[in-house]
Amino acid sequence: MRPVQKGTSPVATPPGFANYEDAKPDLISRLGPYCSYCERKIVTILHVEHLQPKGLPKYAHLELAWTNFLLACVNCNSTKLTKDVLFADLYFPDRDNTFAAFIYTPDGKVAGNISANPTISAATLALTGFANKRSVAIDTNGKEVAIDRGAQRMEAWLLAEESRNDFASNPSPELLRSTVRTAVACGHFSIWMTVFAGDVTMRNALIDAFPGTRASGCFDAQGNPVSPAPNPDRLADGGKV
């Protein structure tokens, strides 16, 4: 899960946003058009995600709060629903080093990293189901959409591996830029970072290319994760990993 810095609200608060959907262009500009949890690039039905769900009465006052927003796909959003969110018990990419918290493998699976708190990792995986191999969501037209995040991770892994092999045989600036463009178009930041582990130049180029990632302060000059996260926005219960 790619760590990000969202920054301060783009609109003065108060009055803040009139409608939470109005925050979507700013969120996409700062974070890129990716699900904040499963890291897929979502071109159309990307939702403004309320970290603490607006559907729970105790969080109703956060419906228009910039600090409570991320972006989510229909699968992660519809799994998370109105489950209660206590920041101390979960990892979130706007306040924790979620890249350091999870391990991605070629079989499309995601697991908690040994350096992270296993209880918090498991709770985070359960919250959105982002690591689930298969999940079914129904769109507004009654059609099943994007049902297999595991298979999509495997495809991304293969694409990243092919790119790594090509770059190893021709480590030119042009191919580096082309590889980064492919990664940005594909999404799945953590998979590209994992496949290019040990390649300082490529890792730094990826960190710089995905919006909001460098600013998170979660990576050092070698492209390795910095843990705990510096939590530059000073969000509640951040910097747990």
* Among 37-45, 92-100, 106-114, 158-166, the segment contacting Zn ion (CB under 5 A): 37-45
Closest approach of Zn ion to the CB of residue 200, in Å: 29
Query: Of the candidates 73, 12, 24, 81, which has an alpha carbon nearest to the alpha carbon of residue 51?
Result: 81
b/e for 69-102, b at 16 or more Cβ within 10 A?
bbbbbbbbbbbbeeeebebeebbbbbbbbbbbbb
76 binds Zn ion (CB under 5 A): yes
Closest to 2 measured CA to CA, from 209, 236, 222: 209
Among 73, 180, 202, 229, interactor with Zn ion by CB under 5 A: 73
**Which spans in the chain are helix H?**
24-31, 74-80, 98-101, 118-128, 149-169, 173-186, 189-195, 200-209
Q: Give the range of 70-78, 113-121, 156-164, 187-195 binding Zn ion by CB under 5 A.
A: 70-78
Q: Which of 4, 38, 62, 180 binds Zn ion (CB under 5 A)?
A: 38
Closest to Zn ion by CB, 73 or 160: 73
**125 is an interface residue for Zn ion by CB under 5 A:** no
| Binder of Zn ion out of 35, 65, 146, 183 (CB under 5 A) | 35
Binding residues (CB under 5 A) for Zn ion: these are 35, 37-38, 73, 76
